[in-house]
Structure 1
Amino acid sequence: MMPSRPLRLAAATLLAAAGALVTAPAHAAGVDQVCAGTEVTTFDPPLTLTARPTTVTVSGIYTTCTNPDAVTATYAETFTLTASCLVLFDSGSAFRTFTWGGTTAPSDFRYNVTSSAVAGQVVVVNTGVITAGGFAPAGAEQVITLVTPNVLQCLAGGVASVTGPTTLTVHGA
């Protein structure tokens, strides 16, 4: 006899909770660095419903990183693209430098950008390679989650900035 749906759901929830209690060590095999922090993205001019050339300034801070030689990090980047409240980011390739708090040299990160709308959020995934500096050569992935701009703000003067959590994973050799 098959358990009832509520019972199966409860069992699945318990299994998921138990799995969440098991965490990987800070330096799991193949991972040199994992960081968590916040990104602020500003738009000039502010985003409206009309697509137009926009200067985008990104600044991020990782307040928690797992590598003892690089315990925090910051980054900043400015670029221009055609954007609106309906289309925040586009796909493409870019470059940024992570500056580490600790003894590790800054890392040059060359990456490809993809973005998608998921449940009222814009999820930006930067996948690429640390080409020079600390952790080089290594693959890396940065994920940024930003709230989709409020349509009312887009109509009334525009959206000047969005903020959201970001993670960075650097994969060792």
Structure 2
Amino acid sequence: MALGSVMLAGSSLVWAPAGQATTGEEGSVGCIGHSESRYDPPLTLLARPTHVHADITYTCGAHGHTVPATGSFNSDVPAASCVAVSGGSGTESVRYADGGTSLIVYDSATTLRVAGVLVVIQRGRVSEGRGHGHPVQRTITGLPRELPTECLTSGLHGGGNEVQLEIEP
């Protein structure tokens, strides 16, 4: 059911007319994209404190058309491994191609595995810039895959996931 909700929300962003999502202060911002994450130290089977950095490329609905954007996410996770991640705090800086920015602070997360698909839903607020003060939800989905052999040896250095970002009105 949770995966169905995520997929429905994602398809709404993709198929809704771009004019329904704006980057103005009074409206919402809806973005979809792809992230490439790096873990320091690399993830292994043993959970340990880890710094997570992700670079994200987005396409956002804005003023009747789409606007490219980039995001940079950072988090210090208290316990992360190849099989589990705890904590949900972090910050994301979003830069829109039209020159606007949003600094987002995430303070909670829910992690689910549905039919092998990893779904992480983070919640927070825009602390500076476009959408200041508005609530934010970021949904990260990862397709099922085998446990990488790097988890047993040198550790997993990074990975890619699909991301949906919603700055709510």
**Superposition TM-score tier, normalisation by shorter sequence:** 0.7 to 0.9
Using the alignment, how far apart are the partners of 2:74 and 2:105 within structure 1? 15
Structure 1 residue corresponding to 2:61, chosen from 63, 66, 74: 66
Using the alignment, how far apart are the partners of 1:148 and 1:49 within structure 2? 17
Using the alignment, how far apart are the partners of 1:108 and 1:151 within structure 2? 33
Structure 1 residue corresponding to 2:158, chosen from 158, 161, 169: 161
State the AA in 2 paired with 1:115.
T
The equivalent of 1:115 in structure 2 is: 111
The answer on whether the counterparts of 2:75 and 2:90 sit within 8 Å (CA) in structure 1 is no
Q: 1:27 to 1:70 in 2, by over 3 A?
A: closer
The answer on whether the counterparts of 1:146 and 1:162 sit within 8 Å (CA) in structure 2 is no
Using the alignment, how far apart are the partners of 1:93 and 1:141 within structure 2? 12
Shift of 1:143: 0.7
Give 5+ residue unaligned stretches, structure 2: 1-11
**Larger-Rg structure:** 1
State the AA in 2 paired with 1:46.
P
User: For this pair of structures, how many residues does the alignment match?
Assistant: 148
Q: 1:103 to 1:138 in 2, by over 3 A?
A: same
SS of 2:136's partner is strand
The equivalent of 1:100 in structure 2 is: 96
Using the alignment, how far apart are the partners of 2:164 and 2:130 within structure 1? 18
The equivalent of 2:46 in structure 1 is: 50
SS of 1:141's partner is strand
Computed over aligned residues only, the root mean square deviation of the Cα atoms, in angstroms, reads: 2.6
Could you state the TM-score of these two structures normalised by the residue count of structure 1? 0.72
Using the alignment, how far apart are the partners of 2:32 and 2:144 within structure 1? 21
Structure 2 residue corresponding to 1:25, chosen from 17, 42, 46: 17
Structure 1's consecutive aligned runs of 4 or more residues displaced over 6 angstroms after TM superposition are none
SS of 1:151's partner is coil
The equivalent of 1:86 in structure 2 is: 83
Give 5+ residue unaligned stretches, structure 1: 1-19
Could you state the TM-score of these two structures normalised by the residue count of structure 2? 0.73
